A and B are shown apart, each in its own frame.
Chain A
């Protein structure tokens, strides 16, 4: 359990942050300059807030009222920086062991992640003798993650760890991060301005804009909310659905998914039947029909109810739909809204092209009970 509540002034910018989150991945989501990095700096102890309180599993790290400020090196909070920040004078092995040189006294051997496990998890066992200079961007980030993990942290902070990488490298690292989330027992605070990453990794989203927390909640709930687009800074709005693969259709190279929303046919996904996954459906890929369409090329027609309408920009409206137990987002013109007579409560049909499902947003989803994990990290 991470509790963060503080105010700070940086230049002319005021930060007023308050949120709490459990285990799994807590994504601090928002545009560049919203104050996300300052929040993780405050959690890490690299920034001393003017006023406030930060605690993790009940252990107080900052409490300005009681004049408590635990210095960074005593916090046991791992930090993966955007630029990796590997020590250039040390080999990869020495970089990885750096934290354990100092952590050895503070923690017992049992809780320390084992070296071999971590290097295997991150796929860096073959790099150990190299110097950071000789690593690719993706390798640097994986070593940086390993270095933070091996310092036996009780919380892992990741500040845009993929921002400096190209798309290929991102795809190389994302599965490792998912593995970390699903198998590691360390809660993660993940800073990002990329909706795709957040949709794929986050358990909880903390939406930050202009130095303030605008929304906190589970990923599907926040991503499915209309009107967040302007706050989060120009990302492509899109709902996140948790689904299970129920069948593959080799004849047409399609896969069928099932979730709280109903059934969805998408392009073939190379995962076994029964796998849980996340699907992000962009608001602009959802078409709304007033009647059940008789013959359309779209394979998916979901029954839904209009929940909320939010105008974005001059011409568009974001429509929040409820399909079964899930939320969907659609982006349509104001004219279409008028023509269809869309108001909250109206029953509609949402059309989703099978092709439209964003392949890069397809993330593995292991629905873990994070409350149980949090217990392990107490004390």
Chain B
């Protein structure tokens, strides 16, 4: 088992509730904190791209749209290992995009940022799908009405389309967050399994199952994973209900 001293100082400052309530070791709590951070940033950074993609898929007509649709959904059906490997080739130290981002000081390879990227890419289709469904469900006649009231396309989008899509956006964010919490294959392939940097909950559980005597800790961490996922889903359900109630005007 790894020693606490090996972790960077910021990761040792773990919430006491984790150590005491769940009797978690420093390693496990570090994995939880890391997982939450990775998932949060993955969700937040992919949101604008997912929104744009959903708008394109729901509203635009162009040559090669099915191909575009396919590419967007690819991470959903591709073995995560393949996704991770492609990311490694593109965003690794010697990858073209990796080098490009390095010039502005963003490094993905073997960093938690890479884990967030892997999570964002694999969860992307889920987020796009949720937003797209919500966009397609909007009564477009309301947008026509907004136009006759003097709103141009941008303002129609901001004042009518976006607020009415909010439940879908929220659902997409939660799905993305939950999916990111569970990301394993692409992460381990792309950024390896570095304690405190890229070892998220799934990777930590995997490591524990490979370690003699790690069964109990693996079980505990698995329980946490179940709780976290459940919490995310319940919260999203609550939010969605409240939001749709507000939107439908009750």
Instruction: Answer yes or no: B151 CB below 8 A from chain A CBs.
Output: yes
Given contacts A87-B142, A132-B249, contact A44 B159 (CB under 8 A): no
- The CA of A175 and the CA of B161, in the complex, are separated in Å by 35
- Measured between beta carbons, the chain A residues less than 8 angstroms from B231 are none
Instruction: Answer yes or no: B25 CB below 8 A from chain A CBs.
Output: no
Across the two chains, which residue of chain A brings its CB closest to B144? Answer: A46
Across the two chains, which residue of chain B brings its CB closest to A144? Answer: B145
B239 to chain A, nearest CB (A): 15
- Give how many B residues have a beta carbon under 8 Å from the other chain's beta carbons: 23
B112-165, CB < 8 A from A: 139, 141-142, 144-152, 155-156, 159-160, 163-164
Contact A72 B148, beta carbon cutoff 8 Å: yes
B169-200, CB < 8 A from A: none
Contact of A151 among B144, B150, B152 (CB under 8 A): B150
- Measured between beta carbons, the chain A residues less than 8 angstroms from B139 are 85
- Measured between beta carbons, the chain A residues less than 8 angstroms from B156 are 73
Selecting from A31-39, A97-105, A319-327, the interface stretch reads A97-105
Instruction: Answer yes or no: B66 CB below 8 A from chain A CBs.
Output: no
Instruction: Answer yes or no: A134 CB below 8 A from chain B CBs.
Output: yes
Instruction: Answer yes or no: A93 CB below 8 A from chain B CBs.
Output: no
- Measured between beta carbons, the chain B residues less than 8 angstroms from A77 are 148
Instruction: Answer yes or no: A78 CB below 8 A from chain B CBs.
Output: yes
Instruction: Answer yes or no: A106 CB below 8 A from chain B CBs.
Output: yes
Contact B144 A72, beta carbon cutoff 8 Å: yes
A42-101, CB < 8 A from B: 44-46, 71-79, 81, 83, 85, 87-89, 98-99, 101
A91 to chain B, nearest CB (A): 8
SS of B interface (majority): helix
A325 to chain B, nearest CB (A): 40
Given contacts A85-B145, A98-B159, contact A73 B150 (CB under 8 A): yes
B146 to chain A, nearest CB (A): 7
Contact of B149 among A46, A83, A131, A151 (CB under 8 A): A151
Instruction: Answer yes or no: A133 CB below 8 A from chain B CBs.
Output: yes
B144 to chain A, nearest CB (A): 6
B248 to chain A, nearest CB (A): 6
Contact of A89 among B148, B149, B150, B249 (CB under 8 A): B249
Instruction: Answer yes or no: B246 CB below 8 A from chain A CBs.
Output: yes
- Measured between beta carbons, the chain B residues less than 8 angstroms from A148 are 148-149
Contact B150 A88, beta carbon cutoff 8 Å: no
Instruction: Answer yes or no: B247 CB below 8 A from chain A CBs.
Output: yes
Instruction: Answer yes or no: B250 CB below 8 A from chain A CBs.
Output: yes
Contact of B155 among A46, A87, A102 (CB under 8 A): A102
- Measured between beta carbons, the chain B residues less than 8 angstroms from A133 are 248-250
Given contacts A81-B141, A102-B155, contact A88 B249 (CB under 8 A): yes
- Measured between beta carbons, the chain B residues less than 8 angstroms from A89 are 163-164, 246-247, 249
Contact of A134 among B142, B147, B155, B249 (CB under 8 A): B249
- Measured between beta carbons, the chain A residues less than 8 angstroms from B155 are 102
Contact A99 B248, beta carbon cutoff 8 Å: no
- The CA of A133 and the CA of B156, in the complex, are separated in Å by 21
Instruction: Answer yes or no: A353 CB below 8 A from chain B CBs.
Output: no
A86-130, CB < 8 A from B: 87-89, 98-99, 101-103, 106
- The CA of A71 and the CA of B154, in the complex, are separated in Å by 13
Most buried by B among A99, A106, A132: A99
Contact A102 B248, beta carbon cutoff 8 Å: no
Instruction: Answer yes or no: A244 CB below 8 A from chain B CBs.
Output: no
- The CA of A77 and the CA of B144, in the complex, are separated in Å by 12
Contact B145 A106, beta carbon cutoff 8 Å: no
- Measured between beta carbons, the chain B residues less than 8 angstroms from A102 are 149-152, 155
B90 to chain A, nearest CB (A): 40
Contact A88 B148, beta carbon cutoff 8 Å: no
Contact B145 A76, beta carbon cutoff 8 Å: no
- The CA of A81 and the CA of B141, in the complex, are separated in Å by 9
A183 to chain B, nearest CB (A): 22
Contact B147 A73, beta carbon cutoff 8 Å: yes
- The CA of A114 and the CA of B164, in the complex, are separated in Å by 29
Contact A147 B149, beta carbon cutoff 8 Å: yes
Contact B152 A73, beta carbon cutoff 8 Å: yes
- The CA of A71 and the CA of B144, in the complex, are separated in Å by 11
- The CA of A72 and the CA of B156, in the complex, are separated in Å by 12
B residues with a Cβ closer than 8 A to A are 139, 141-142, 144-152, 155-156, 159-160, 163-164, 246-250
29 contacting pairs across A/B (C-beta < 8 A): A46-B144, A72-B144, A72-B148, A73-B147, A75-B148, A76-B150, A78-B149, A81-B145, A83-B141, A85-B142, A85-B144, A85-B145, A88-B142, A88-B247, A88-B249, A89-B249, A98-B151, A99-B149, A99-B150, A102-B150, A102-B151, A102-B155, A103-B149, A103-B150, A132-B249, A133-B248, A134-B249, A134-B250, A151-B150
